[in-house]
Each structure stands twice: as C-alpha cells, then as structure tokens.
Amino acid sequence: MIEVEGLTKYYGPSRAIENVTFSVNRGEVLGFLGPNGSGKTTTMRILTCFMPATRGSVRVAGHDVFRNPLEVKKNIGYLPENVPLYTDMTVRGFLNFFAEIKGVEKGTRKARIDEVMANCGVEDVGDKLISKLSKGYRQRVGLAQALLNNPPVLILDEPTTGLDPRQIIEIRELIRRLSGEKTVILCTHILPEVEMLCGRVLIINEGTVVAEDTPENLTTGLQRSHRIHLQVEGPAAEVAASLEEVPGVLRVKQSSPPSSGPHSYDLEVDKSDEARKALARMIVNRGWGLLEMRTIDLSLEDVFVKLVTTENGG
Amino acid sequence: MRNFLPIFKKELASYFTSPIAYIVYCMFLIIVGYLFYSGISFFSILSFQSLNNPNLAQGLNVTEGVFRPLYLNMGVILLLMMPLLTMRLFAEEKKSGTIELLLTNPIRDVEVLLGKYAACMAVYLVMLLLTALFPAFTTLVGSPEAGPILSSYLGLLLLGASFIAIGTLVSSLTENQIIAAAVTFGILLLLWVISWSASFAGPTWGTLLLHLSATEHFQNFAKGVVDTQDVIYYLNLSVFCLFLTLRSLESKRWRG
C-alpha cells in the first residue's frame, strides 16, 4: 500500500532523513517511533505530498507522490502534528468544507459527516466554534476530518497527545476498529500505545531507520543480551564478585538491598543459555542458596531507549 | 476547478466572521463619506457664487467638480486599505499551520489561489458598491453624468484587482501578516509615486515611469475615457502577480 524507497531530505545543508526505506501492507498498522527531531514529521510530510524529498521515491496506493500528488492525497487521511484547524469555523462547517474538498457526494455528505462525528465523539459540539473547543475535542475534530472520505490510508501524527485517559482509550479503540480495513501509520511517543495497536514498529533516529520489526521481536529477539533476576542467599559482596566472574555475564547490579533476607541481583548476560547454566552451577557449588532465577523481558521502552542512545555512543 | 467554490465560500465567510471586512468597510466609508461631503459642500458654495458670476457658472459640472476628485482620492485610500484585506490570505494559514491541512487534501494550488483571490475581490466589490450611494444621492439634487462615473468604477475595479493580486503575492511569501501588509503597502505606494519623477527623468525614462504608475493609468478612467492601454496595464499586473503567486505556492513541491 505504501512503499518508501531511499527517502532522503536535506533542509539546506542539514540532513533531516537519510535513505529511509520501508513498506506498509494493506490493513497493517505501522508504529513510527523516534525521539523529537528524528525526522518523523518530515517523513510524514513527504508521504502526504506537503514537501518534496531530496532523493528517493514514495508510492501510496500505486501512485507516486511527486508525479501524481492529487491521487495520493485522495487516498490519504492525514492528521498533522499539533492539529491545525480553522478556528473561526464551527465543527460542522469545518467538516463540511473538507468533505466538499475531498469530493464526498453532496447527497451522502450530511450522513457521512454525522457518521464520522459520532465515530470520533464530537457530535455534541457540532455547532460550536473550533476556537472554543478543548485540546481533546480539537484532536478528535482533526481525526474526523481525516476520516471523511473513508480513505484507505491513514497517517496520524501523535493522535492522542493532550487527551484525557478516557478519550485516549476511545481513540485507541477507534484506531483498532479501523485497523482491519485501513492501512495506518501511527507516529507517537507513547510506547505502550505502539505495543497495543501496531503490528510492526519502525524506529527512526537522527534521520535513519535503526530498527524495524514486530513489537514482540523487538523486545525479545533484537536484544543483544538477556536480563536475569537472581535471588541468592549468601554474603552479598562475595556473591556479587563471583557472579561477575562467570563467563557470559556482562554486568551485575545489586538491586535494592533488603533489610533482612537474601539479596537480589540484576544481571545482564549474553544470549546463549550457557551463562545461565554456569551461574546455577557456580552458586550451587559454592553452597549458597539459589532462591530465584528468572529472565526479564525488556519493554519496548527499554529497546527504544537503548537503540536511540547507543547510536549516540552513550 | 471543482474545489474553487468551497474555498471561495470559506474565505468569504472568514472575512465576515472575523470583523476585518466590517472594520475596513466602516473606515473606508467614513473617509470617502467625509471627502464626498467636503467636495459637495465646496461645490454648492461655488454654485451659489456662480449666480452672480456667469463666467464661473460655465465651468461648473458636478461630475468634474465632485466625482472626479472623489474617485481619484478613493484610489489613494484603497492603497492604504487593500493591504489590510490581503495580508491574511496566505500568511495566516502559514502561521497557524492550517496550510498543511489544506494542501495535504486533494486540492490544486490554482484552486486555492483563485478561491482566495475571488473571495477578496468579492469583499472589495461590495465595498465599491457601497460607495455608489454617493452618486445615487447626488441624483436627487443634481444631474451627474453616468458615463464618467461608470468608467471610474470600471477603473477602480481594475485598480483594485491589481492591488489585490499584488497583496496576494506578498502574502504567499511570508507567514507574518504585519510583514505582508507593510510590504504590500510599500509596493503600492511606490507604484503611486513612481510617476512623480517622470517630469525630470528624460523622455525615455519619463514615459516608462509614467506607464508603470498605477495611479497614472487611473486618470483616464476618472475622466470618462476607457483606453485599452490602461485596461491592459491593470489586467497585466493582476495576471502577472497571480502567476507569480501560483509559482510561489508550487515551489513548495519541488524546492528542497
């Protein structure tokens, strides 16, 4: 549905994105992650024909964004970051204006507007001026605008910022409902949201793609090490020192010393199972009590922070 | 051109939901009304004096004496008012970011441009129609000639069309409305005073400067003369500025 190849964008001499390549299949929800200034919004703006790329090609629903922008735009519903809206219009007037531009048939226009207003939960503010609306309502009016002509592709740039928890759940529900039939690109900072909604995640940092996989694979497969939680009965300092000597153990951290009872340790070990076997053997041989050993899955947040910071050399 | 009408309606509505249009109408009519009042008062004093002075009476003509200077002055007042109508056209959308929403919808640049331009022209047309009250009122007490008045309105329409085109172009180049207004005002003022140095600029440059002046071309219309040369000048200026605006909008598509 969306094919991006070798996308590069320079603002004058400064690089915004470099050689970004990815594709999104029909009906898929792609999470687009990255720290601020990593080129997320630039990529979205190129996809929606607002800006040209310096190099590379983008095809949306079979149309090239540079050669055939009008067809591309017909196929995309876009919610820009910060949700710019015409604040001097009423919600209904605003939606009617965009329904006309998106070519929604006159006969079905009113019904369609009512439908998206109900879907996005803005039916009770239809006659209010947009300037009088709260951030949450504005966000949903913007989303309603994107859905008006029932486009096959949705590009949402941070759709849930500024919403209260109940509204966030509603919007996520809406995105989940749409995800079967529509292709969605979701730019966000909120990582649990990505884990919840997206079938695939793409992490971008300083303009280049640093990871692309399913959230599950990212949190397990892509890690370079396992994290192990240990509870060992024995002299704390000696145990910690011995643990570090076991081959395959990369780092040992003694976690919050309890007032009484056995100490806990968080270990980082390499991915082979040998390290764990060796650890168990060593503890038993030394005569300490091995009370607990379990692997900890990294959250997507950990992976994200790791990918983004290691690239900086940090 | 399917999207021309929605843009036109939206722009027109926003002139009237924000009080810009009302304020500009109000100030314009106050100033023109004052000029009309002082013109017609002076004319009536002259008329009374001419009762005793037949030589004076021969040169008296309400169209020449009241309306010609009035319309010439209106041209100058437009120069001050027009930037206020045009400054928001693109600058406001760029500032608030709504241009991103608009241009990522299936719409052509030319539709956006013409919709906005036509809306501003409509606002201006209503403003001109409101000033038609003055000649209409004068027919109650005198007999102004229709010809020169109609040609003056044609001239004002063309003059305004070119002023609005210049303002639209400037507004598309900045995201600051004050800058848009100031630059438009500067250009319009320059087009007005550029002919002042024509008398001492030598024959070649003098003719050129006279031809460039937007107000010089209006003189004929105010006299009641519709010369194709003047019509072409205003149409040229309008189309040229609109063309440049379109290029400036399109440049976003290819400029890195």
pLDDT band at A312 (very low <50, low <70, confident <90, very high): very low
Of A30-34, A235-239, B170-174, where does mean pLDDT reach its minimum?
A235-239
CA distances from B215 to B75, B203, B212 (A): 7, 20, 9
pLDDT band at A311 (very low <50, low <70, confident <90, very high): very low
Of residues A40 and B115, more confidently modeled? B115
ipTM: 0.86
pLDDT band at A313 (very low <50, low <70, confident <90, very high): very low
Q: Which residues of B touch A48 (CB under 8 A)?
A: 104
pLDDT higher than 60, residue A314? no
Q: Which residues of B touch A10 (CB under 8 A)?
A: 256
Predicted pLDDT of residue A136: 84
Mutate which: B7, B101, B255, vs A, most A CBs within 10 A: B101
Which contiguous run of DSSP H or E holds residue A141?
helix A135-147
Residue with tokens 């189309």: B239
Q: Which residues of A touch B10 (CB under 8 A)?
A: 86, 89, 97
pLDDT one-digit tens code per residue, A24-39: 988 888 988 888 778 8
pLDDT one-digit tens code per residue, A93-116: 999 999 999 988 889 999 999 999
Asked if B102 and B112 count as a contact pair (C-beta separation under 8 A), the reply is: yes
Q: What whole-number distance in Å separates Cα of residue A237 and Cα of residue A246?
A: 15
Q: Which residues of A touch B99 (CB under 8 A)?
A: 84
Q: Do B104 and A73 touch (CB under 8 A)?
A: yes
pLDDT one-digit tens code per residue, B188-229: 999 988 888 888 888 888 888 888 888 889 999 998 899 999
pLDDT band at A220 (very low <50, low <70, confident <90, very high): low
Q: Do B96 and A84 touch (CB under 8 A)?
A: yes
CA distances from A186 to A294, B52, B136 (A): 34, 87, 62
What does the pLDDT average to over A259-283?
Answer: 79
Q: What is the total count of domains within chain B?
A: 1
Residue with tokens 């004052």: B34
| Segments forming the whole domain that contains residue B204 | 4-255
pLDDT higher than 70, residue B98? yes
pLDDT higher than 80, residue A174? yes
Q: What whole-number distance in Å separates Cα of residue B46 and Cα of residue B52?
A: 10
Q: Does B103 touch chain A (CB under 8 A)?
A: yes
Angle between helices B20-50 and B68-86 (to 10 degrees): 170
Q: Does B210 touch chain A (CB under 8 A)?
A: no
Of A76-85, A161-170, A248-257, B161-170, where does mean pLDDT reach its minimum?
A248-257
A and B: number of Cβ contacts within 8 A: 76
What pTM, to 2 d.p., does this model score?
A: 0.84
Pairing of strands A225-233, A263-270: antiparallel
